[in-house]
């Protein structure tokens, strides 16, 4: 993979270090890469083995822990701090499929779509509009809309499930083809997911405040 | 964020809030939304069939102050215009009138798109009706 091939020399012994965390010759810790996949020694794929990632995370956490470098050179002490920080960020991003896809898209330079109207389908818009109207009544004290809000929440959860299934199959297609148009489709689905996710969170907040109100007013 | 006086004015006293009967053949309904911020905007026009002039307009917007002000202004501006004149309203005019900052330009884009969507909807309904009338005769 060209991804791994750039030559970098070990800061300690001068042998080629090949972007691995440790020098193969003198075993000293190298300046850590900021590329999350490379950091974990993984190919940049959208579908990854979660169990393997977790295993690598615990291994690396041990290997890179600053306590292990207390008696080493200041350079390695510094690298271990940097590496530990990158490790935690990289793990948080890579283990979450949505964050991972956002990361791959950002690396590939695929930006979020313009917030231009009509990128959303009319059926979803109409649903969101009705939902907002129901929420307005709900905030105004009309409790009778609560079942409708709960149903809406269920529908949006189901939609999020469909989106996630769609993402899953697009991830596979991208890993096989590396086609830019697949990335564009992923971008669209991620934007839609963000929208649906916002609605779910909004509903959760509103429904939660209402039940606390009811609990305290009794 | 500081809103301009004009935005505040439209926000505090929105013009033409409400809705028209979307099943009325003279009414065109435009529904638009921005996926990022979650704003949704409904803008409706009532067209005078004799003159082709927009006789009334209503809106309802769920979103930030700038989105509400942009759609409120849009309903004011389309009233009394022909469909072709209304189609010429540009989001940049809304930006200038309301002194919207760059991060709120998308609100004016939504309002422009809402006008266009309402007009399209009206024209679609009219065309469908004419096709039906043609078949009947």
Residue of B nearest to A134 (CA): B62
* CATH code of the domain covering residue B84: 3.90.1010.10
Residues counted in chain A: 218
Task: Provide the pLDDT confidence category of residue A130 given band limits of 50, 70 and 90.
Answer: confident
Q: Strand B27-33 to strand B53-62: parallel, antiparallel, or no bridges (unpaired)?
A: unpaired
Nearest chain B Cα distance for residue A31, angstroms: 37
Residue B58 falls inside a structural domain: yes
Q: Where are the alpha helices (DSSP H) in chain B?
A: 5-12, 65-78, 83-87, 91-98, 105-136
Q: How confident is the model at residue B137 (pLDDT cuts 50, 70, 90)?
A: low
Which residues between 3 and 32 in chain A have a beta carbon less than 8 angstroms from any beta carbon of chain B?
none
Q: Is residue B72 part of a domain?
A: yes
Q: Do residue B31 and residue A122 have CB atoms under 8 angstroms apart?
A: yes
Which residues in chain B have Cβ-Cβ distances shorter than 8 Å to A192? 35
The mean-pLDDT minimum among A5-19, A22-36, A89-103 falls in A5-19
Q: Across chain A, what does the average pLDDT equal?
A: 87
Give yes or no for residue B5 having a pLDDT over 80: yes
Between positions 66 and 105 of B, the ones with CB within 8 A of A are none
Chain A hits for B119, CB-CB cut-off 8 Å, are: none
| pLDDT at res. A213 | 53
Quote the number of domains for chain B: 1
Which candidate, A164, A151, A165, places its Cα nearest to that of A197? A164
Task: Print the domain residue range for B69.
Answer: 5-125
Best mutation target, B35, B42, B112, to test chain A (most A CBs within 10 A): B35
Q: B21 in a domain, yes or no? A: yes
Contacts of B122 (CB under 8 A, 6+ apart): B26, B27, B28, B45, B47, B83
Residue B60 lies in a domain: yes
Half-sphere exposure of B13 (CA within 13 A, CB side): 4
pLDDT digits (tens, 9 = 90+) for A62-100: 999 999 999 999 999 999 999 999 999 999 999 999 999
Does the beta carbon of A194 lie under 8 angstroms from any beta carbon of chain B?
yes
- SS3 call for B45: strand
ipTM value, please give it.
0.80
Strand pairing report for B27-33 and B40-48? antiparallel
Residue appearing with tokens 């890993």: A175
Report pLDDT digits (tens) over B55-76: 999 999 998 899 999 999 999 9
Does B63 reside within a domain? yes
Catalytic residues of B, by residue number, are: 37, 107
């Amino acid at each position: 993979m060209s991804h791994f091939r750039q030559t970098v020399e070990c800061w300690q012994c001068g042998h080629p270090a090949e972007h691995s965390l440790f020098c193969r010759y003198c075993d000293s810790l190298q300046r850590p890469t900021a590329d999350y996949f490379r950091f974990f020694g993984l190919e940049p794929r959208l579908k990854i083995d979660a169990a393997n990632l977790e295993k690598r995370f615990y291994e690396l956490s041990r290997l890179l822990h600053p306590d292990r470098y207390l008696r080493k050179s200041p350079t390695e002490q510094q690298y271990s701090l940097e590496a530990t920080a990158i490790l935690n960020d990289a793990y948080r991003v890579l283990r979450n499929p949505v964050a991972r896809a956002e990361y791959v898209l950002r690396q590939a330079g695929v930006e979020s779509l313009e917030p231009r109207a009509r990128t959303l389908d009319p059926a979803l818009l109409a649903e969101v509009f009705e939902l907002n109207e129901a929420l307005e009544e709900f905030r105004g004290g009309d409790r009778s809309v609560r079942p409708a809000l709960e149903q809406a929440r269920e529908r949006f959860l189901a939609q999020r499930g469909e989106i996630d299934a769609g993402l899953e199959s697009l991830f596979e297609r991208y890993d096989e083809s590396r086609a830019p148009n697949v990335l564009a489709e992923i971008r669209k689905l991620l934007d839609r997911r963000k929208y649906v996710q916002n609605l779910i969170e909004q509903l959760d907040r509103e429904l939660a405040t209402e039940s606390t109100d009811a609990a305290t007013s009794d | 964020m500081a809103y301009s006086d004009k935005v505040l004015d439209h926000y505090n006293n929105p013009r033409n809030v409400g809705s028209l009967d979307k099943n009325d053949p003279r009414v065109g309904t435009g529904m638009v939304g921005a996926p990022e911020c979650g704003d949704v905007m409904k803008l409706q026009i009532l067209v005078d069939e004799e003159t082709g002039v927009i006789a009334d307009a209503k809106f309802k917007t769920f979103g930030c102050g700038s989105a509400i002000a942009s759609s409120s202004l849009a309903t004011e501006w389309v009233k009394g215009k022909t469909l072709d004149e209304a189609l010429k309203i540009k989001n940049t005019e809304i930006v200038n009138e309301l002194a919207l900052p760059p991060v709120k330009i998308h609100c004016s884009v939504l309002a422009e798109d809402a006008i266009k969507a309402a007009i399209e909807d009206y024209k679609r309904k009219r065309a469908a009706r004419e096709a039906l009338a043609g078949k009947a005769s």
